[in-house]
Amino acid sequence: MTGRMSGKVVVITGTGGAMGRAAALRFTAEGATVVGCDLDAESAARTEHEVHRAGGSFRSLAPSDLADEQQVERLMAATDELGGIDVLYNNAGAVRPGGPLELSRQDYEWTLATTLTQYWLCAKHAAPRMGGRGGGAIVNISSIAGGHVGTGLAGNQPQVFAYGLAKAGINRLTELLAIELAPLGIRVNTIAPGVVENAGNRELIGPEGSPARQAYLDTFLIKRIGRPDDVVNAALFLTCDESAYITGAHLTVDGGWTVSGQRGWPAVSEAGGAS
């Protein structure tokens, strides 16, 4: 590793999941001290064990419910003895599935609270601690489900209705935070991942060679399912000094799903050219 985060204090939310764990391992390997959290204490403890085994500097606050503003402040206050925050990696989020006609209002509001609202709360309580260090960087994990092409699921399945709305809100939240926090020297950017394989969606994606998995692959330009490290690599770039002139941007990491309009490679005619 190159030590791109040497001496940095990084808060990563949702470190019990696959992407949060990959982020904690990568950022600590790059020299950062990471403060992580998760609603699932057992999964968070597993991440803490793996990071320490790899020689990284990591502390965990779990369980943490980031829809509760007091718990958000507790998380950010854990960095005070470290001198503040350099990077906020807003990664945590959850969804209760359902289309617009069957989803309950309770599940709708829960999804927005545990996705969009908590990103704002984390930024609200992290920003003053970044400003005290002369600035910093925030990366918000959005999704292709928050974009303008389809629902984010193969065949435009409607189960991610509230999730898509929340992620679209995160895109706009990023732009507004980039403006509002610029005087503090804080950059804010978004990453919109496509389909990234993890324990939570493996059944939906299907095993290697299955029709379900092939249905996804047919919509990509890069013919594989995304991996957590694909997203973490982008986040590392957007929060290190190499991206010092980038703010308010949205980086799509989806294997070409969006740009192809969910259609994958161009069709080839019998003459051998694209039709």
Rounded Cα distance between 192 and 256, Å, is: 12
CA of 87: how far to CAs of 27, 79, 109, 140, in Å?
10, 11, 28, 11
| Burial group, residue 154, by CB count within 10 angstroms (0-12, 13-18, 19+) | buried
Is residue 163 flagged as an active site residue? yes
| One-letter identity of residue 254 | D
Q: b vs e for 217-237, b when ≥16 Cβ sit within 10 Å of the residue's Cβ?
A: bebbeeeebbebbbbbebbbb
Rounded Cα distance between 64 and 14, Å, is: 9
The CA-to-CA distance between both ends of the chain, in Å, stands at 45
Q: Please pick, among 119, 163, 216, 245, the residue that the annotation labels catalytic.
A: 163
Rounded Cα distance between 38 and 61, Å, is: 7
Whether 119 and 89 have beta carbons less than 8 Å apart is answered as no
Q: Using omega within 30 degrees of 0 as the cis cutoff, is the peptide bond preceding 97 cis?
A: no
| One-letter identity of residue 48 | E
Read off the tokens for 59.
């502390």
Active site residues: 163
